[in-house]
Each structure stands twice: as C-alpha cells, then as structure tokens.
Structure 1
Amino acid sequence: MSDDEAQGKDDEKGATLGGPRDDELARHMSELARSLHAEEGEAAVLERMVGAAVGMIPGAQEASITLVHGRKRVETRVPTGDLAREIAALQEEVGQGPCLDAAFEHKTVSVPDLAAERRWPDFTAGALGLGAKSMLVFQLFIEGDNLGALNLYSRESDAFDCEAEQIGLLVAAHVAVAFAGTQKVEQLRDAAQSRDVIGQAKGILMERYNVTAEQAFLLLSGVSSHSNTKLVHVADHLASTGNLPSADGEPIPH
C-alpha cells in the first residue's frame, strides 16, 4: 500500500472515529445544549429543538414534535413547514403512524421508503399524497402517561442513513433532558404564582370578614369544593373581581 493510500485510509477512519467530523458534531451538540438551557419556556425549547434537528441531522428537510398527554390527547408542536404540519394532522386524523408508534412503543422508528411501507396503510397513503417519501422518528421521553417524539421528514426516499440515526439519537437525548428541565421550571413557576394569588385572595377575605388566615383558606376551599372549581381559579376570580364564584357560576353576593 502506498503512502497516499495509507493516508487516505487514516483520513477515512478519522472522519468517523475522533476525526474532524466528530469534533464538529461535538461542537454542535455543545452549542445545542447551551442554547436549550438558555431558553426560557417550553415553546422556545421545542422551537430550538426542531431547528437543530433539521440543521444537524443528515437528510432531514422538516421536523416536528409529537406530545401525547395522558396517553390519549395527541398534540403536534412547532412543525417547521407545511409538510410536517399536514402529516401531523393526518396522523391525528387516522390515529396511526410512525410518530405515534415511536411515542408509545419504540425508541426509534425508521421509514426508509413510504411507498414500500405496510405498517400503517391509512397513514402511508395520505403521507405519500402529501409528498413525504421517508421518515425517521425518535422517542423523546416516557414520563408516566405523558409521551413525546421527535419527527423528521424528507421528500426523498432513503434519506436517512446510519449516521442520521446516530446523530438523531444524540439530538433527541439532549432535547429530552432540556425539555424535562423546562417543564419542572414552569411547574415551579406555576406553583409560585398559585401561592401568590391564593395569598391575595386570603388577604381579601381576612380584611372583608375579619377572619384568620386559616379560616380564609377554609372558606376558599369550601367554595372550590361546592362550585367544582380549582382552588387557584377561585382565588384568581376573587382577586380579579372581588367576588367569590358560586356553585352555579355566578358571583356570591356580599
């Protein structure tokens, strides 16, 4: 083997094992992780996620996120274009497809050629009509009854190779961690806001009826129970309008 041939072999090996391509991928992944953690709010993280997926995963032309709430309600978020949006609507309509399979059952679902696909006949026919030729879907998380998937679409057959799948798994892993973090932050923020509005409502009742904080809370809880309304909504209604909601939805006169 000549020196040039040996160098070519080394370059080829370096491109896949610790070479320039891996270095570039590591840099992109680091930038993605930092940008995701810097975003505030679930919507911003999801939008950044699909943008990174299309930009980093070979073959991806469009992307979207599928969220399944309580294993029942399917929601599509931040589609990057018409193809992703229309396929998401199709999947929700027919109740089948690779996005749902990935979310419910499998970590990764690969569809190299939709024209040859037999797993989801209703979905496949519609997706082909919309212009999709291949798909690659990654399960993002399973948290109780809440599921998620990252969906990649292409108008070309066999668009996603092994490299695309490997990079996609890395992107999906980073995204799942960042997304879970934003959900916890938003839950904490919601809890703090609920605590504040309940405190305001208690203060109104304490001043108005000359009762203690505990008595005011019991009054709010009683109205919540009788009106079948969440406690925080009762408190918010009182803080906003000065009235407590009654069981029939009308403000309680006072």
Structure 2
Amino acid sequence: MTGSGDVGTGGHSHPGGQGQPSVSYTGGVKPEHLAQTLSELARTLQLEESLDDTLTSIVAAAVPTIPGTAFAGLTVVQGKRSVWTRAATHELARRVDQAQYDTGQGPCLDAVFEHRTVRVADLTRDTRWPDFAGRAAELGVRGMLSFQLYVEHDNLGALNLYSPEAGTFDDESEQVGLLFAAHAAVAMAGARREYDLGQAIGTRDLIGQAKGILMERYRLTADQAFVLLVRTSQHTNVKVSEVARILAETGELGPEQRRAPAPE
C-alpha cells in the first residue's frame, strides 16, 4: 500500500506545517490537567515491552485524551512512499485509512507527506480530497484530525483521529493532539530502535549459528561459510538472514549449494 508521493522537505514553520496547528486553528486554548495527563502517558508508554504494544497503547490513549475523538489509527511509513496502518482502536479506522491509501489522497497522507497538521470539520463539505471524501462518508466518518509523527530527521507516520459527527474537532483538540503526538513520536521512535536492535541481534545470532553448521559440515573457515550463505542467497533470491534461519532449523541449504565453495 503506497501513499501519494515522496516526503517533502522544508517550509515547516508556516501555519499547518510540521509541529504546528492546522490552518483552521484560531489559538489560545489551555486545557486543564494536560501536563499530568501527558506525564502519565509517557510513563505508560515507557513500560510497554514491544513496538506493537507501544503503538496499540498510543491509539488507545488518544481516544480519551484528545477531545472529539471516537476512533484512532496509526499510519507508519516504510521507506519514502509505503504506508500502512499498524495500530487502530476500531476496524472503522483501518477502513478509512485504507480508503486513503487506495485513492492516494486524504488528511492522513497530507500529514505524512506534506509534513503538516490537517483538520477537517466535515468531510461531506470538504473539496480537497473528492475521491476519499466520498468513501469516508459511505463508511460513516465526517470529522478528521491528522498529525504527523516525527522526530528529528525521521518521519515515522501519522496519528489519525476520526469522528462520525461533523465539527467535533476544535482548537483544544489540536493543541492537546500536537502535544500528545510529540510524546507519542518519541515513544514510538524509542520502541522502534529497540525493535530494530533486537532484530539485528537475532539476525546476527542466526547467521552465526548457520556459519557454525557449515564450518563443521564442510570444514570451512568462517569467511568461507559466510560466502556460501551469500551465494545461496543470491542463487535463490532469498535474504541471507532467511537462508540462515532455514539452515539452522532444517539443516538444509539447497541441492546446488550443499558443496563447499573452493577456498579463496
């Protein structure tokens, strides 16, 4: 599932830009008890044990925290263009997100790729995304509020908030949502780093185990064993890590790769 274009650069200080309220914002709201709520959110997210648990907690907390929200979804970015919904509080949020991915337009994609906050009072009256708006109306969604999730030098995705009623998102929703999104992005980035580190360690261990099998089986050096894994990967068009996993689990590489490479 892909978005509408490459991530843009620059121009983030204008109204509606990165980390800023939308162009609909009129300013000045100071919600009570917000600092305490966000502190509790930060502590809760820090306790989560996995990336998926962190993302699920973010969308679950967004609904009661950000005024006007009935459902929430979290879009993640992979590479520059690929987007998908990794967490949602309701199937409806996933369906509305998918409608944006299918049509290549909508508040979520604008938040991700144009680096801005997008607020929609009533999708049935908004003309910016005609194809998506019709799909959203059929699904029963009228109000939307999307925030880009980012940390320095890294576009993580978007937090998308939905309402079946028009006019439920206001300035307070934006101010609370911007602060919420900032906390969520930091927690998400940290959880993703831990996930990537865990994946890297797991891959390294698998490759090490596979090399050990080949070294013993064919009396190879460590370098020769790795060459054999790489050649198998290239021949089968399968990632080295997957070749290593299959070898570690089954003891098999493939009929053409069972002989050791000639010493180099």
TM range (shorter): 0.7 to 0.9
Paired residue for 2:14?
Answer: none
Q: Secondary structure at the match of 2:124?
A: helix
Paired residue for 1:131?
Answer: 140
In 2: Cα distance, 1:94 partner to 1:119 partner:
13
**Partner amino acid for 1:123?**
F
Deviation string 1:147-203 (CA, Å, 9 cap, x unpaired) is 410001112211111111011001111111111111111111111111111111111
Percent sequence identity over matched residues? 52
Paired residue for 1:94?
Answer: 103
In 2: Cα distance, 1:199 partner to 1:60 partner:
48
In 2: Cα distance, 1:65 partner to 1:194 partner:
27
Paired residue for 1:6?
Answer: none
- Inter-CA distance 229–116: structure 2 relative to 1 (3 Å threshold): same
Report deviation, 1:205.
Answer: 1.2
Kindly indicate whether residue 101 of structure 2 is the aligned counterpart of residue 54 of structure 1: no
**Partner amino acid for 2:105?**
Q
Report deviation, 1:140.
Answer: 0.5
Greater Cα offset, 127-136 or 171-180: 127-136
- Inter-CA distance 239–97: structure 2 relative to 1 (3 Å threshold): same
Kindly indicate whether residue 203 of structure 2 is the aligned counterpart of residue 203 of structure 1: no
Paired residue for 2:189?
Answer: 180
**Partner amino acid for 2:233?**
S
Question: How many residues align structurally?
Answer: 232
Paired residue for 1:111?
Answer: 120
Task: Structure 1 unaligned segments of length 5 or more: list them.
Answer: 1-15
In 2: Cα distance, 1:180 partner to 1:147 partner:
8
Task: Structure 2 unaligned segments of length 5 or more: list them.
Answer: 1-28
Kindly indicate whether residue 80 of structure 2 is the aligned counterpart of residue 67 of structure 1: no
Greater Cα offset, 49-58 or 60-69: 60-69
Q: Based on CA coordinates, which of the two structures has the bigger radius of gyration?
A: 1
**Partner amino acid for 1:237?**
I
In 1: Cα distance, 2:255 partner to 2:193 partner:
33
For the Cα contact (< 8 Å) 1:70–1:145, is it kept in 2?
Answer: no
In 2: Cα distance, 1:48 partner to 1:223 partner:
41
Q: Secondary structure at the match of 2:105?
A: coil
- Inter-CA distance 208–111: structure 2 relative to 1 (3 Å threshold): same
Paired residue for 1:226?
Answer: 235
Report deviation, 1:87.
Answer: 1.1
In 2: Cα distance, 1:142 partner to 1:123 partner:
28
In 2: Cα distance, 1:62 partner to 1:53 partner:
8
Paired residue for 1:164?
Answer: 173
Report deviation, 1:244.
Answer: 1.2
In 2: Cα distance, 1:143 partner to 1:219 partner:
40
In 2: Cα distance, 1:214 partner to 1:201 partner:
12
- Of Structure 1 and Structure 2, which has the larger fraction of its residues in helix? 1
Q: Normalising by the residue count of structure 1, what TM-score does the alignment of the two structures yield?
A: 0.84
For the Cα contact (< 8 Å) 1:102–1:137, is it kept in 2?
Answer: yes
For the Cα contact (< 8 Å) 1:69–1:145, is it kept in 2?
Answer: no
Report deviation, 1:227.
Answer: 2.8
Report deviation, 1:68.
Answer: 3.0
Which of structures 1 and 2 has the larger relative contact order (alpha carbons within 8 angstroms, sep 6+)? 2
In 1: Cα distance, 2:152 partner to 2:132 partner:
26
- Inter-CA distance 126–221: structure 2 relative to 1 (3 Å threshold): closer
Q: Secondary structure at the match of 1:204?
A: helix
